[in-house]
Amino acid sequence: MYTFYFEKLDVWNNARILVKEIYKITSTFPEIEKFGITNQIRRASTSITANIAEGMTRQTEKEKSRFINISFSSCIEVINFLIISKDLDFISNENYEQLRNKAENISNQLNALNKTLNKAQE
């Protein structure tokens, strides 16, 4: 089986782990939130991985950078929903800190990748 370039990226693999953890933790959210925060945080987390994957298939560094920027925005969206989930007592402080640290690490990796892509454009 062929391994695509994006599958080799640490940031994609870290984001993939975050998706799994987001799905696991949101399975404990109230049923009434099924189409609210649960759906939104899941979509935002999967958007991180999807945009990395799609972006790395683009031809130019500028196009790749655009998708990595979208991934970064989705990562910030995940952090937003983690904050709200903690405020609503859907997640414990311990789970919040663990997931937020992972999301912050991914956002830092995305920023570094974006800087590399932008330098390649110069």
Which tens digits make up the pLDDT trace of 58-115? Answer: 999 999 999 999 999 999 999 999 999 999 999 999 999 999 999 999 999 999 999 9
User: Domain range holding 31?
Assistant: 5-121
Q: How many domains does the chain have?
A: 1
Q: What are phi and psi of 72, to 5 degrees?
A: -60, -45
Q: What is the pTM of this model?
A: 0.95
CA-to-CA distance for 81 and 59, rounded, in angstroms?
33
Which one-letter amino acid corresponds to residue 35?
F
Which one-letter amino acid corresponds to residue 37?
I
- What CATH number is associated with residue 98? 1.20.1440.60
Closest residue by Cα to residue 81 from 39, 21, 24: 39
pLDDT over 90 at 43, yes or no: yes
The confidence score (pLDDT) of residue 19 equals 98
Closest residue by Cα to residue 72 from 19, 117, 115, 108: 108
